[in-house]
Structures are given as structure tokens and as C-alpha cells.
Amino acid sequence: MKPQEASECCGPIDDLLDAELFKALGEPTRLKLLSCLAKCGRPCSVTELTECCAVDFSVVSRHLSLLQKAGVLTATKEGRTVFYAVRYKHLTEAFRALAKSIEDCRPKRRSAKK
């Protein structure tokens, strides 16, 4: 069987392999922001999060916006301040589902029993 023909042999891995999500997480500054936000355990403002990394606050603003678009964070505006928070449940479920779909693709060794 050719690789490109194997389209139905396992779970919805294509839907779970989200390039936008991985691209969003594949940048050190954004990863640092996510880490700070996750460990802090509460919503933080752009200004607060700027203290986490050594870039301009405008850069932080863009990174946070991108992480929100990718489904990693939520944004809530209160007055002049925007609070970003980690989408814990969403991320946890996404990675668990991905892990399972990869696991399900793994060919089981066919020994005596099926």
C-alpha cells in the first residue's frame, strides 16, 4: 500500500495535526509567555506578561493575539486592560486526543492472536 493511499486505516489524525497550533507554539518567546501564564494560574495583562520576556510590549501584544487565534489563550477586556488566560481544558483535551490518535495508528504486532 502506498503511503498516500492509506487514508482510512486509523483515527482523525489529520484533524488533530493542526499546523496553526504547532506553529503558534513553535516560537520561544510565545512558549515563554504560555509557560508564564500557565504557571501563574491566573489571567494576566499584556503589560504584566511583558515582564516575562525581553521584547517590546507591542511584540508581546502580537504574540498573545496570535496565541489566541490558535486557540491557546482567551482574551477578556476589562476597561483598558486585556487579560489573557490559558485554555487549560481545551489544550489538555487537544493533546490527549492527539496522543490517542497517534497511538491508534501504531500497528499492533500480529503474533498468534489477532
Partner DNA sequence: TGCATATTTGCGTCGACATGCAAACTTACC
Partner DNA sequence: GGTAAGTTTGCATGTCGACGCAAATATGCA
Binding site for DNA (CB under 7 A): 23, 27, 29-30, 45-47, 54-59, 61-66, 75, 77, 79-83
For residue 92, state whether it binds a second copy (rule: CB under 8 A): yes
Applying CB under 8 A, which of residues 52, 60, 64, 73 lies at the interface with a second copy? 52
Cell of 69: 487565534
Strands 73-78 and 44-45: unpaired
Rounded Cα distance, 88 and 84, in Å: 12
State the binding partner of 86 from a second copy, DNA, none, CB within 5 to 8 A by kind. a second copy
Per partner kind, with CB cut-offs from 5 to 8 A, the member of DNA, a second copy, none near residue 55 is DNA
Q: Sheet of 73-78: strands edge to edge?
A: 44-45, 81-86, 73-78
Residue 60 touching a second copy (CB under 8 A): no
- Cell numbers given for 51: 515582564
